[in-house]
Amino acid sequence: MAEMKVKPQRVKDFCVCALEKAGMASDDARIAAEVLVTADMRGTATHGTIGLRGYIRQIREGGMNPKADIEIVREGQTWAVVDGHAGLGVVTSFKAAQLAIAKAKSNTVGMVWVKNSNHFAAAGYYAMMCAEADMIGLAMTNADISLSAPGSAGRVIGNNAFAYGAPAGAAPPVNLDIAMGVVAGGKVHAAAREGRSIPMGWAIDSQGVLTTDPKKYEEEGGATVPLAAHKGFGLALLIEILAGVMTGGGIRTELKSYAHNPESPSGIGHFFMAIDIGTIMPIEEFRIRMDGLITGISSSPKAQGVDRIYLPGEMEYEREEKTNTEGFVLDDGALNNLKGLAQDLGLEDEGFWHQ
């Protein structure tokens, strides 16, 4: 695959330019650029700028309002319910997480439920915002249905995502970002596109039988499988309750995918929560205890052939630090996606890709 090394700021500039062209205000476009390019820099490009072309298609086809702002529809001291008005999920979520952090700063805990949002890319970003504010942060989203439940033949719930973040002292913040499926639907799509089979355990066919044929997931009403069977299903359901039921927004089959239904608002909901650590325990004590926990684990005996035990988010943290100075690599797929978007928008001569 062709690859190209790019400077983070150049890619951010391009994202801002593209979103402005699509009708978004500069401040919001800068938020989106920051969130998406950070995912690329952390080595999680599946949730980075690769989504931008699809988001802008959703704007152009009417499913997303680039000028939407968040509206607080109900609130208390420690919580708010927010309407995203079908804006870019990344911007809506950034603002909602900021609101949770502000409430936690004043009242120890902040919980923000968001309805009428769209795809919010990497859940981990919003949890890290909390960690950077010396808080424990949770971020969750529901999604269009793709997972089975134990005993179901088809799709019954989204590959709902969960992230948390917590600061440490000398060690990097801990940051886990996971979805509740054994595998991301995108990996099954890729296998189908490339004519490869998939490992047994990833997906079921329309009869509920495990299959190695990715087309049975794609074309014939199959589903991907929740991690650890009833455990992953049960966790996906908790996210559906918090991000769907409690927000008053879309649930299960009411949700759309921006990739398949760009003409529709996706109807996605999120839940953000921040807990201000310093109110509960002196933050320096917390940092020392976190470092002890982290060092205790990372210095444990390693399995044969293993050099390091990584804590959640540690690898991504190091990649981000490195790419900040050295730039990062966009692979063929990500690069062609951005080039295609540039072409869509008549931006191809702007020279964003030259170092």
Chain residues 72-111 in contact with a second copy, contact rule CB under 8 A: 74, 76-79, 81, 107-109, 111
Q: Please count the residues of the chain.
A: 355
Least CB distance from residue 234 to a second copy, whole Å?
A: 4
Q: Is 165 helix (H, G, I), strand (E, B) or coil?
A: strand
Least CB distance from residue 190 to a second copy, whole Å?
A: 20
If the CB atoms of residues 113 and 328 are measured against a second copy, the closer one turns out to be 113
In angstroms, the CA 54 to CA 344 distance is: 11
If the CB atoms of residues 170 and 297 are measured against a second copy, the closer one turns out to be 297
Locate 355 and state its tokens: 């170092």
211 pairs with which residues across the strands?
203
Q: Are 260 and 271 in contact (CB under 8 A)?
A: no
Reference 226, options 318, 322, 158; nearest CA is: 158
Least CB distance from residue 239 to a second copy, whole Å?
A: 10
Q: Is 335 helix (H, G, I), strand (E, B) or coil?
A: helix
Enumerate residues 196-255 that contact a second copy by CB under 8 A: 204, 206-209, 227-228, 230-235, 237-238, 240-242, 244-246, 248, 251-253
Locate 286 and state its tokens: 């917390």
Residue 320's CB is within 10 A of a number of other CB atoms, namely: 21
Enumerate residues 262-301 that contact a second copy by CB under 8 A: 275, 277, 279-281, 285-286, 289-290, 292-293, 296-297, 300-301
In angstroms, the CA 101 to CA 278 distance is: 13
Enumerate residues 314-353 that contact a second copy by CB under 8 A: none
DSSP assigned state of 181: B
If the CB atoms of residues 66 and 110 are measured against a second copy, the closer one turns out to be 110
If the CB atoms of residues 78 and 336 are measured against a second copy, the closer one turns out to be 78
Residue 104's φ and ψ, nearest 5 degrees, are -65, -35
Least CB distance from residue 76 to a second copy, whole Å?
A: 6
Enumerate residues 144-203 that contact a second copy by CB under 8 A: 148-154, 156-157, 164, 166, 174, 176, 178, 182
Q: Is 341 helix (H, G, I), strand (E, B) or coil?
A: helix
Q: How many residues bind a second copy (CB under 8 A)?
A: 76
In angstroms, the CA 50 to CA 350 distance is: 19
Least CB distance from residue 261 to a second copy, whole Å?
A: 19
Least CB distance from residue 192 to a second copy, whole Å?
A: 22
